[in-house]
Structures are given as C-alpha cells and as structure tokens.
Amino acid sequence: MNAQSSNDRIIIFDTTLRDGEQSPGATLNVDEKLTIARQLARLGVDVIEAGFPYSSPGDFEAVQKIAQTVGTPDGPIICGLARATKQDIQTAAEALKPAARSRIHTFIATSDIHLKYKLKKNRDEVLAIAEEMVSFAKSLVDDVEFSPEDAGRSDPEFLYAVLERAIAAGATTVNIPDTVGYLTPSEFGALIRGIKENVPNIDQAIISVHGHNDLGLAVANFLEAVKNGARQLECTINGIGERAGNAALEELVMALYVRRQYYNPFLGRPADSEEPLTNIDTRQLYKTSRLVSNLTGMLVQPNKAIVGANAFAHESGIHQDGVLKNKLTYEIMDAQLIGLTDNQIVLGKLSGRNAFRSRLKELGFELTDQELNKAFIRFKELADKKKEISDRDLEAIVNDEIQQSPDLFKLELVQVSCGDHACPTATVTLRTPDGKELTDAATGTGPVDAVYKAINRVVNVPNQLIEFSVQSVTAGIDAIGEVTIRLRYDDRFFSGHAANTDIIVASAQAYINALNRLYAALQRQEPQMNPQHSALEDVTPVIS
C-alpha cells in the first residue's frame, strides 16, 4: 500500500523511535529499537520515523538496521529526521539506503520566536533554506517530508509561503507541527483549513500533523485536523515524547475506529462505511504499548485511555451490575479489540519447547535459537513456581531477555536478609564487562536499598535513583513482578526494567539494566543531541 497515493484514509506515521525517544530517560539501544520497529510493522503503521541519523553513530546504526530488516517492499516506509542542512540530509539518505521505501523528513522553524532566538535568521533566509534543502533531499530520495517547526505559532501568511516553496521544490508531505502544544482544537482545525485554502499547490502534497501534549489537547487537535483535511497523523505509542509527549497513537486509532460513523464523511465516505480509516491492526495495540513501556521505562498511568490498567476495569457496583446485564451499558469498545485477552492460560509445566516456540511465534516474537534457549530456561523456572502461565507472563519473560546487555555487567547472584528485627543486608555477585566475578555486600534502609548499595560498590558509577516502581504482571500471589526504575547521571536519565517472581531479583536486574545503559553511554561518550534544541550550525559526529 503506498501512503503517497492515499487520500481517503488516514496514514499513521509513528515517531516513537524519534520524538518518543527524546523523552528524558527513554534512550533505547539498537536491538531494542529494532524490536520496537518490528512490532510497529506488525501493528501496521504506514511510516516509521526510525531516528535522527546525524545525531550519533548509534542512531545512524539503528536507522540503517531498521531500514535493512523492517523496510521490506511490503513493510512500512522508513523515515529519518534531518535538520535543514546538507550534512544532516546526506547522512539520513545514507542510513536509509537499505530500505525498499525511504523518506527524508527535513525541518526548519518558521515562528518569529524561533527565527530570532534559535536560528538568528530572517524570513527570507528561512524561505531560501527550506527550498534549497527540500530540493537537495529530493535529489537523494523521492519521498520528502517537510516540517515548518513551531507552525502553530508562526504567522500564517509566512507559513503558506514556506509550504508553497517546499512543495514546489519536491516535498510530497507537508507536516504541520504544534511544537509547543499551544493550540486549541478549533485553532488547529482552522490552521489546517487555512493551509488547504491558501497554499496554491497543496493538492500536490499530503497534509500531516504533529503535536505535543503540553495542554493535554494533542489528540483532540489531531481529530479536528482530520476534519479539515489532514491525512497523516504523527504520533507515538503511549503518547511518549518531548516534555508532555506527543499525540498517542492508540487513542487516535481507537477514536477513529469507535467513532468511524462520525469521521467517515470527512473523508468523503458514507457514514456507515465499514472500510477501516487506518491500516492499524488494533489487536496489536496493547502488546505494543507494553513493549514500549518496558523497553523505554516510561510507565503507563493506570487511568490512561485505551491501554491503562484501569481502562476496561469497572469498579463501582452500579457499573459492574450494568456490565453484567449488558456490556453496552458502560463500554464503548470491547477489550479484545485492543488485544487484551483475559489472561488465557496457554502453557504449563509440561509444555515442551515446540509449544513454547510456536506460542511465542503467535505472539509475534522472532527469537534466535540462542535467545529461544534462554527464554525457555526462564519459562521452565517460572513453570516450577507458577502453575498457570499466561501470554502476559510469556511477554514479560521475553521482554526481560531483550533488555539484558550480556556484554556489560551481569547479575550472577543476589541474596538478602531482612525482617522487622534485622538490619537489611545484601550480598551480590556481578560479572564485570572484562569477565571478572566480583562479590560485595552492603546494608541499607530496606532490602532493595541494601541490594542497590552493594551493586554500587561493584559498579562504582555515581548515580541517583529517581524513580522505582513495582507492578504485578497478572493477578495472584505467584504473579511475576515487574520493576521499572530511572536513574539520573549529570543531566541525563537512564531507565531499567526487569521481571521476576521474586521482586528483589527483579529490582536488582532492573538496576543492572539501567546501569548498563549508563555505562554504555559513558563508554561511547556520545553527546545526546536533540534535533530541535540545536542551531543549524551545531556540529556533531559525522558518520562517514
């Protein structure tokens, strides 16, 4: 399906791996990005914005690998972000080369505030740069997207002029960002309508929208934009992203699904048309949400629409009574629509490797033999402790394996003693990156504190623990506990996640996972480059 030719359905452009990864602490390594990209392809997104290749060798490699493995002819378009400079654009083109269908997304700010304080350029200069850089990008790839950053606060007349030039220079998608999440739904709708009416060549491009959630209006703004002609939505899983995040993919998709009779006419269809408005396989939404939350360490609030733990729970007696009589009383969508099964029991102690492998395959996990072996050992250990193993347990085991970086610190042993009359004491043994086994012990205010202090004595990288959370994967006393933590080192954040029936072991492993990310970043000495916070001249490592 070619997104470019589609004007009667909504193109879903996922930017979890680019704007989502700009959330503090959401840094992902190359393998984790690849895992998420594969899942996004299964979910059915049309475009994956895989990263900002010029920012670091790690980002370049991730975009290139995603282009190679997920950018197949029938897979999504793979997109790379580039500031409006030749170096950025050239580097993005290089990283995207292996993709069957690739897109360069280049941007430059157009609001007077950004021109004066960030770019230090006048309007004529910005117009000329936008035109020249779109045409340069076009000389490298066919599919070029242009964004006038901070469009929401730009003078509409100037915005029209920039968009007209960008389209004339070859942009096939023009994306309208509300970069600071300032607009209200009716203002955003009017902005899109104004663009449709005042940019003479607008019919040669798809109108896209991108928006931040600073006032909690991003999703509402996008839906208003759809009514006024927007046909591409830039969004992220769980709404993660800069500051308050981006518009949440799952909320947009389900709003367009549940209220299709309302939205159909805006796309020129009869209200009762059953043709889907997006390409998304909604049954993959819950799983994708969990994967992104686990790998980024960005927890989903329980009352979050669609994917929050309480989104389908009915607490009050009146509601429960109504739902038992007829679900329609208090439910506008079925939990199964987003892939939330009722924790079906799928495997148990006697299940063999083949059953395990084929269930993982059905769940969409493609593991190498080595990964499968490791996951199978974890499954058997779990089956000894827990009689009934659900899909959610299997997902927790596999996600946990994905997160561990074998080349860095490895947890070999953790033991604690604690109680109401004891001084919590922990002993840990870690394998260091150079293969040594080191053991140390510490006391703390509680067992987790003691474990973290003991680990710190071995790893010796100063850091501050700023977030710690434990959640159970399923109900029941034998449930797997998932621990998510976040560390601060200078002004950078690193997250870690782990799952185990023993929450002390999960806590220790989550901490090691976060420390490994911190340790890897220190080894690479990569500056964290935010595409939007840097002027066009800022130089970063160039990828040859």
Binding footprint of ligand KIV on the chain (CB under 6 A) = 19, 107, 147, 149, 175, 177, 179, 210, 212, 532
Smallest distance from Zn ion to CB 178, Å: 9
Among residues 32 and 150, whose Cβ is nearest to ligand KIV? 150
Question: Which partner from the list Zn ion, ligand KIV, none does 392 bind, CB cut-off 5 to 8 Å by kind?
Answer: none
Which has the closest alpha carbon to 63: 80, 44, 87? 80
Q: Which does 107 bind (CB under 5 to 8 A by kind): Zn ion, ligand KIV, none?
A: ligand KIV
Contact track, Zn ion, 6-35, x by CB under 5 A = -------------x----------------
The Cα 247–Cα 240 span in angstroms is 8
Compute CA distances 266 → 60, 270, 315, 541, whole Å.
39, 9, 37, 46
DSSP assignment of 102-157: EEEEEEEE-SHHHIIIII---HHHHHHHHHHHHHHHHHH-SEEEEEEETGGGS-HH
Closest by Cα among 412, 341, 401 to 377: 401
Q: How far apart are CA 541 and CA 536, in angstroms?
A: 14
**Residues near 99 by Cβ (< 8 Å), separated by ≥ 6?**
66, 67, 68, 71, 77, 78
In the complex with ligand KIV, the residue whose CB is nearer, 109 or 298, is 109
Please state the closest distance from residue 151 (CB atom) to ligand KIV, in A.
8
Of residues 246-305, which lie at the interface with Zn ion (CB under 5 A)? Answer: none
d(CA 283, CA 257): 12
Minimum CB distance to Zn ion smaller for 19 or for 145: 19
149 binds, among ligand KIV, Zn ion, none (CB under 5 to 8 A by kind): ligand KIV
- 3 state DSSP class of 39: helix
Q: Considering Cα of 65, then 131, then 166, then 170, what sign does the dihedral take?
A: negative
If the CB atoms of residues 96 and 408 are measured against ligand KIV, the closer one turns out to be 96
Q: Which CB sits closer to Zn ion, 81 or 134?
A: 81
Q: Which is nearer to Zn ion, 211 or 447 (CB)?
A: 211
395 binds, among ligand KIV, Zn ion, none (CB under 5 to 8 A by kind): none
Q: Among residues 146 and 493, whose Cβ is nearest to ligand KIV? A: 146
Provide the minimum distance between the beta carbon of 210 and ligand KIV in the complex, in angstroms, as a whole number: 5
Q: How far is the CB of 266 from ligand KIV (least distance, A)?
A: 24
Query: Residue 147 binds which entry of Zn ion, ligand KIV, none, with Cβ cut-offs from 5 to 8 Å by kind?
Result: ligand KIV
How far apart CA 468 and CA 457 sit, in angstroms, is 20
Which is nearest to 520 in space by CA: 399, 431, 405, 436?
405
Residue 427 three-state SS: strand
Instruction: State the residue number with the nearest CB to Zn ion.
Output: 19
Q: Using CB under 5 A as the criterion, which residues of the chain lie in contact with Zn ion when the complex forms?
A: 19
